[in-house]
């Protein structure tokens, strides 16, 4: 048994249908399923999502299906030298009319900017197809030049039903587990423990199967009590490079959203005590400042951004004071999610209808030719009018009257709303 690969490795997906909860990527006709079926559709990409959601499994599957050479590196234990060696091999392959190879770079966010720059020419010229995997937001961690040359695919945390179905399937399918008479009685604890990480879930299931006592009929019961006993005894309380940080940061953010500074401070220091990167925490505070406080207190975003600067400049432990100040301020601030709601409405609208043309009067008149076509004609320059405002339409004709932003009930947004009503009251946008 000890010579067996871990359960998570034994149960890696063998086809697109085996992926858990990623139908937007691997469902029929979806982008990554199409790549697996036809590597002529292959392109450089960034796979972004929480740990254990299938990023590495996709690369593993692609390495089997692709009709081209496949290189795999981890940014945590490699450097520019290895990348340059692969690029040199790739150039030789291109010169001999072979298909360009694939480079899978796990944890690409761990590469410095200069290391990421070493990938640019290879990606831009098509010498390699880069597949970078990261748990961090690519907008923060990947160079803009490199990011602009890749498509980003978001791997989502699987839902509860998907994970329960996976447990049932694994218990039946894996030869080792199927021979042990496992009985799946309760799943609440093991699902909470896994935090949506499939790898962690399967490792936990395997541990419970190994370290649990058998019942009278030789069965091993997967219950909340049994899972709690085994996992608390055999697994560390906090894995800063794994997954519990997502649970703890979620608790901190929800405490801020719920206006409880004491709870928010507790969860923040749980993370810091476990060795969590304070930069990771600060980035989440910036998100919370916009998503949960937003326009009710715009200064929250300024403070959260300044907090990140302070952390980078002074480091632990002194920056803990600044971080505490920020957390208390965010939790104690009035709350509004109006910008978050407006953003979701706008994204949904653009996904569903993005074909409307820019009205002629709003177009950029850069030459006589386009001016003669009516570009910029009848545009009214607001600064030429009283209060720097003039009534005119800014949306396509088909969207006149559109309302995406709804002011929340707080003093700051009430003043903003009064100003908007004053400007537009006699000539509503419709």
Please tell me whether residues 275 and 394 are part of one structural domain: no
Last residue within a domain, chosen from 191, 212, 234: 234
Asked if residue 126 and residue 171 are part of one domain, the reply reads: no
The pLDDT of residue 430 is: 41
Domain assignment of residue 305, yes or no: yes
29 and 109 share a domain?
yes
CA distances in angstroms from 393 to 381, 406, 427, 429, 430, listed in the order given = 12, 19, 10, 7, 8
> What per-residue confidence (pLDDT) applies to 4?
80
The predicted structure's pLDDT at residue 262: 97
Residue 185 within any structural domain of the chain? yes
Both 191 and 128 in one domain: the answer is no
408 within some domain: yes
Distances (CA, A) of 296 to 302, 404, 418: 13, 17, 15
| Domain assignment of residue 429, yes or no | no
Residue 89 lies in a domain: yes
- Nearest by Cα to 294 from 247, 256, 325, 351: 256
Residues 199 and 287 in one domain: no
Tell me, yes or no, whether 16 lies in a domain: no
Range of the domain at 207: 160-234
Tokens of 406: 């709804």
Q: Which of 154, 173, 194 is the last residue of a domain?
A: 154
Q: Within a domain: residue 7?
A: no
In-domain check, residue 4:
no
Residues 7, 112 contacting (CB under 8 angstroms) = no
Is residue 32 located within the same domain as residue 145?
A: yes
What is the tally of structural domains in the chain? Answer: 4
Residues 32 and 130 grouped into a single domain: yes
Residue 298 is encoded by which pair of tokens? Answer: 């715009």
Under 8 Å between Cβ of 256 and 329: no
CATH of the domain at 294: 1.20.272.10
Closest to 303 (Cα-Cα) out of 326, 332, 278: 326
Tell me 13's DSSP state.
-
**What's the pLDDT at 1?**
45
- Let me know the angle formed at the C-alpha of 27 by 247 and 176, rounded to the nearest 5 degrees: 65
Quick one: 89 and 36 in the same domain? Answer: yes
**Residue linked to tokens 């994970």:** 163
Let me know whether 307 and 408 are in one domain.
Answer: no
Q: The CATH number of the domain where 381 resides is what?
A: 1.10.3710
In three-state form (DSSP H/G/I as H, E/B as E, the rest C), the secondary structure along 188-213 is HHHHHHHCCCHHHHHHHHHHHHHHCC
Answer yes or no: are the C-beta atoms of 254 and 263 closer than 8 Å: no
Query: Do 137 and 200 reside in the same domain of the chain?
Result: no
Mean pLDDT (10-residue bins), the chain, 430 residues: 79 86 90 91 94 91 90 88 94 94 93 90 95 92 93 93 94 91 92 87 92 86 90 65 73 96 95 82 96 96 95 85 97 95 92 86 89 91 93 90 91 92 69
Domain CATH for 98: 3.40.50.300
Q: Tell me, yes or no, whether 165 and 187 share the same domain.
A: yes
- Domain CATH for 209: 1.10.8.60
Boundary of a domain, candidates 280, 298, 332: 332
Rg (CA), the chain: 26
Beta bridge partners of 133: 47, 106
The reply to whether 45 and 145 lie within a common domain is yes
Range list of H helices, 104-197: 113-124, 138-141, 144-147, 160-173, 175-178, 188-194
């Amino acid at each position: 048994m000890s010579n067996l690969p871990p359960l998570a490795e034994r149960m890696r997906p063998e086809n697109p249908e085996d992926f858990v909860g990623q139908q937007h990527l691997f469902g029929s006709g979806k982008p990554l399923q199409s790549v697996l079926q036809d590597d002529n559709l292959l392109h450089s990409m960034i796979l972004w999502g929480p740990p254990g959601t299938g990023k590495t499994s996709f690369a593993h599957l692609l390495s089997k299906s692709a009709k081209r050479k496949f290189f795999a590196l981890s940014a945590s234990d490699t450097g520019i030298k290895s990348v340059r060696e692969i690029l040199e091999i790739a150039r030789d392959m291109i010169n001999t009319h072979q298909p360009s190879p694939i480079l899978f770079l796990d944890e690409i966010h761990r590469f410095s900017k200069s290391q990421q720059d070493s990938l640019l020419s290879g990606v831009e010229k098509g010498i390699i197809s880069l597949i970078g995997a990261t748990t961090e937001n690519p907008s923060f961690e990947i160079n803009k030049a490199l990011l602009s040359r890749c498509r980003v695919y978001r791997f989502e945390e699987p839902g509860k039903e998907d994970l329960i179905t996976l447990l049932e399937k694994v218990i039946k399918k894996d030869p080792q587990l199927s021979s042990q008479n496992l009985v799946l009685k309760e799943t609440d604890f093991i699902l909470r423990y896994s935090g949506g990480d499939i790898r962690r879930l399967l490792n936990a299931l395997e541990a419970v199967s190994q370290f649990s006592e058998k019942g009278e009929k030789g069965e091993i019961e997967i219950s909340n009590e049994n899972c709690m006993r085994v996992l608390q005894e055999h697994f560390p309380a906090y894995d800063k490079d794994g997954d519990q940080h997502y649970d703890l940061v979620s608790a901190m953010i929800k405490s801020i959203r719920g206006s409880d500074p004491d709870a928010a401070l507790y969860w923040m220091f749980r993370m810091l005590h476990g060795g969590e990167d304070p930069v990771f925490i600060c980035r989440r505070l910036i998100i919370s400042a916009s998503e949960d406080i937003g326009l009710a207190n715009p200064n929250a975003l300024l403070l959260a951004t300044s907090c990140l600067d302070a952390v980078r400049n002074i480091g632990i432990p002194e920056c803990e004071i600044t971080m505490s100040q920020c957390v208390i301020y965010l939790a104690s601030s009035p709350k509004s999610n109006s910008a978050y709601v407006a953003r979701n409405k706008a994204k949904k609208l653009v996904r569903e209808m993005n074909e409307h043309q820019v009205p002629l009067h709003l177009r950029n008149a850069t030459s006589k030719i386009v001016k003669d076509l009516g570009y910029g004609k009848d545009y009214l320059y607001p600064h030429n009018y009283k209060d720097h405002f003039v009534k005119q339409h800014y949306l396509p004709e088909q969207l006149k009257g559109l309302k995406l932003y709804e002011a929340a009930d707080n003093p700051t947004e009430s003043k903003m709303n009064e100003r908007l009503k004053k400007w537009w009251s006699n000539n509503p946008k419709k």
